[in-house]
């Protein structure tokens, strides 16, 4: 199939991996037709603003914090849950802004992160084999054969929950929730367990002092009232994503208006696959997850396919290699991309290459391994004269026990206490706060040496 003519559905001529086996394709097209005329969730000018911020971060003029749940659940679409996610992301971004002295691009894995690629089509729960859970937009987590069958009606619920979540985020921000002067109010119920809370409190006091000083000098601090906050999810379900793709009459370009940014997963980034075909026609900023087995030449071909005009901010390479493999796999990739001269933003996802299984089938990740991969990424980029422009995390504002280590030194034996994730393990509130302090130290350490 030729790659010359792109349309929002030209991907249908290419092999599409990880698509749910819907039993009734007619029901699916009925739903996607209905979705395609519903209002978009975001606006092209917002998407362009994000693209410019990513381009600035790629040049060292900012830092991208992308994070949120591994898989959002429909039941999480409530005030408390959204508020808690916003609190931890705002706290982390404040720590990073203060530590790095750079604007932070806040990019939630939120308001649409409802679909999951899986390694196996079937999974075994208590000795019984079921179709794998593929995210709430596909099937139900409950171990029940009938409820595990992909149901296209769930796409409508995914759209609705995304819209409700984003609507509440927008209301919170325009209502002043993100105002820096309220930084003490972003505390969470599990705060007493967060070892880094005192450091956070001291930092906020210093910032508030500086704001009071500015105000008493007559400097207008209203710029601190509000923030940019962007949404992102894995663009996995192509029927859904193409239904949310619209032509912008002003520019004539096509945008996926279901999120500001979308990424292609490690399992679906085949050069001649349907996902790459779909993504190459979008004007949105696009992320691509890259694991340790990737061939550097193939990655440069991929970047070229996605961004033939070398638009700045358009492609973010999100490496997720694992602490054991990053030292070997990242340098050739960095060198090949650098040699190609193509503009990319580099981000590090230190979660997905560091998953290990404990006991029967409990997935976990160790804080120390996550830290080690991050540190390697900062160092390798510094060594090759490239810039690590951001990080990508699975995390939550809740007091879960899914990843081990951190200041509270969670052990494998603690995992059963509050393991809630429906797919992969997330950093909990305390670990996320600690991680933000660690990243800001790494940014300072590795950029202090810059020219």
Ligand X SMILES: O=C[C@H](O)[C@H](O)COP(=O)(O)O
Quote the least distance from Cβ 267 to ligand PEP, whole Å.
6
* Contact partners, residue 202, CB within 8 Å, separation at least 6: none
CA separation for the pair 169, 164 (Å, rounded): 9
Choice from 51, 87, 154, 320 touching ligand PEP (CB under 6 A): 320
Strand 362-364 relative to strand 388-394, pairing: unpaired
- The distance from CA 382 to its chain's CA centroid, rounded to whole angstroms, is 23
Quote the least distance from Cβ 180 to ligand X, whole Å.
33
Are 262 and 256 in contact by the 8 Å Cβ rule? The answer is: yes
Choice from 4, 5, 26, 119 touching ligand X (CB under 6 A): 119
Nearer to ligand X, 17 or 201 (CB): 17
Are 225 and 253 in contact by the 8 Å Cβ rule? The answer is: no
Asked if 424 touches ligand X (CB under 6 A), the answer is yes
Scanning the structure block, which residue is given the tokens 């509050």? 418
Asked if 320 touches ligand X (CB under 6 A), the answer is no
Asked if 216 touches ligand X (CB under 6 A), the answer is no
Scanning the structure block, which residue is given the tokens 């026990």? 401
Scanning the structure block, which residue is given the tokens 């980029």? 381
Quote the least distance from Cβ 292 to ligand X, whole Å.
15
Choice from 12, 17, 118, 441 touching ligand X (CB under 6 A): 118
Among the candidate windows 115-123, 179-187, 337-345, 367-375, which touches ligand X by CB under 6 A?
115-123
- Binding-site residues for Mn(2+), in ranges, read 70, 352, 394, 424
Token digits of residue 47 = 């998407």
Asked if 155 touches ligand X (CB under 6 A), the answer is no
Asked if 241 touches ligand PEP (CB under 6 A), the answer is no
- Binding-site residues for phosphoenolpyruvate, in ranges, read 109, 266-267, 289, 320
Q: Helices 25-35 and 153-174 sit at what angle, rounded to 10 degrees? A: 30
Among the candidate windows 93-101, 112-120, 211-219, 298-306, which touches ligand X by CB under 6 A?
112-120
CA separation for the pair 118, 133 (Å, rounded): 8
CA separation for the pair 199, 434 (Å, rounded): 10
DSSP state of 354: S
Quote the least distance from Cβ 235 to ligand X, whole Å.
14
Q: Helices 197-216 and 429-448 sit at what angle, rounded to 10 degrees? A: 60
Nearer to ligand PEP, 99 or 322 (CB): 322
First-to-last CA distance in the chain?
47
Asked if 423 touches ligand X (CB under 6 A), the answer is yes
- Binding-site residues, in ranges, read 70, 109, 266-267, 289, 320, 352, 394, 424
Scanning the structure block, which residue is given the tokens 């809630």? 420
From ligand PEP, ligand X, none, which one binds at residue 379 (CB under 5 to 8 Å depending on kind)? Answer: none
The total number of residues shown for the chain amounts to 451
Choice from 280, 352, 369, 381 touching ligand PEP (CB under 6 A): 352
User: Which residues 123-182 are close enough to bind ligand PEP by CB under 6 A?
Assistant: none
Token digits of residue 325 = 């493999």
Are 84 and 110 in contact by the 8 Å Cβ rule? The answer is: no
From ligand PEP, ligand X, none, which one binds at residue 106 (CB under 5 to 8 Å depending on kind)? Answer: none
* Contact partners, residue 385, CB within 8 Å, separation at least 6: 338
Quote the least distance from Cβ 317 to ligand X, whole Å.
17
Choice from 265, 285, 287, 397 touching ligand PEP (CB under 6 A): 265
From ligand X, ligand PEP, none, which one binds at residue 304 (CB under 5 to 8 Å depending on kind)? Answer: none
Are 313 and 285 in contact by the 8 Å Cβ rule? The answer is: yes
Quote the least distance from Cβ 116 to ligand X, whole Å.
4
From ligand X, ligand PEP, none, which one binds at residue 119 (CB under 5 to 8 Å depending on kind)? Answer: ligand X
Nearer to ligand PEP, 102 or 320 (CB): 320
Quote the least distance from Cβ 39 to ligand PEP, whole Å.
27
Nearer to ligand PEP, 246 or 267 (CB): 267
* Contact partners, residue 418, CB within 8 Å, separation at least 6: 398, 399, 400, 401
- What residues does 272 pair with on adjacent strands? none
Scanning the structure block, which residue is given the tokens 């981000």? 347
Residues that bind ligand X (CB under 6 A): 70, 116-119, 352, 423-424
Residues that bind ligand PEP (CB under 6 A): 70, 117, 234, 265-267, 289, 320, 352
């Amino acid at each position: 199939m030729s790659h010359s003519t792109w349309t929002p559905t030209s991907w249908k001529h290419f092999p599409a991996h990880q698509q749910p086996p819907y039993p009734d394709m007619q029901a699916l097209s009925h739903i996607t037709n209905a979705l395609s005329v519903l209002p978009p969730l975001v606006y092209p000018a917002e998407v362009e603003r994000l693209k410019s911020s990513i381009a600035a971060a790629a040049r060292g003029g900012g830092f991208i914090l992308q994070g949120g749940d591994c898989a959002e659940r429909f039941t999480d679409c409530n005030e408390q849950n959204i508020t808690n996610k916003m609190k931890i992301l705002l706290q982390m971004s404040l720590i990073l802004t203060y530590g790095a002295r750079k604007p932070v691009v806040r990019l939630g894995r939120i308001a649409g992160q409802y679909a999951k690629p899986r390694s196996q089509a079937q999974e075994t729960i208590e000795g019984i084999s079921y179709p794998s859970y593929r995210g709430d937009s596909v099937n139900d987590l409950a171990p029940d054969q009938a409820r595990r069958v992909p149901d296209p009606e769930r796409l409508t619920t995914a759209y609705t929950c995304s819209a409700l979540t984003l609507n509440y985020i927008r209301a919170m921000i325009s209502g002043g929730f993100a105002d820096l002067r309220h930084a003490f109010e972003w505390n969470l119920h599990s705060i007493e367990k967060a070892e880094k809370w005192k450091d956070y409190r001291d930092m906020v006091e210093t910032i508030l002092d500086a704001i009071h000083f500015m105000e008493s000098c007559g400097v207008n601090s209203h710029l601190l009232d509000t923030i940019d906050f962007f949404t992102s999810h894995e663009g996995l379900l192509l029927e859904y994503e193409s239904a949310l793709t619209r032509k912008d009459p002003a520019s004539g370009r096509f945008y996926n208006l279901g999120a500001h940014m979308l990424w292609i997963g490690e399992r679906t980034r085949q050069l001649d696959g349907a996902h790459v075909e779909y993504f190459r026609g979008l004007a949105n900023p696009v992320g691509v997850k890259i694991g340790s087995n990737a061939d550097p030449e193939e990655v440069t071909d991929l970047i070229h396919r996605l961004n033939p005009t070398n638009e700045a901010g358009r492609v973010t390479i999100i490496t997720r290699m694992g602490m054991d493999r990053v030292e070997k796999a990242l340098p050739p990739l960095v060198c090949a991309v650098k040699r190609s001269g193509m503009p990319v933003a580099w981000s590090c996802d230190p979660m997905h290459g560091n998953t290990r299984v404990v006991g029967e089938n409990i997935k976990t990740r160790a804080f120390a391994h996550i830290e080690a991969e991050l540190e390697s990424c900062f160092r390798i980029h510094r060594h090759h004269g490239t810039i690590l422009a951001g990080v990508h995390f699975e995390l939550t504002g809740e007091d879960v026990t899914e990843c081990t280590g951190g200041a509270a030194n969670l052990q494998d034996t603690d995992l059963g206490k509050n393991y809630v994730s429906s797919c992969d393990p997330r950093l909990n509130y305390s670990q996320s706060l600690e991680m933000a302090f660690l990243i800001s130290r790494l940014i300072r350490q590795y950029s202090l040496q810059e020219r």
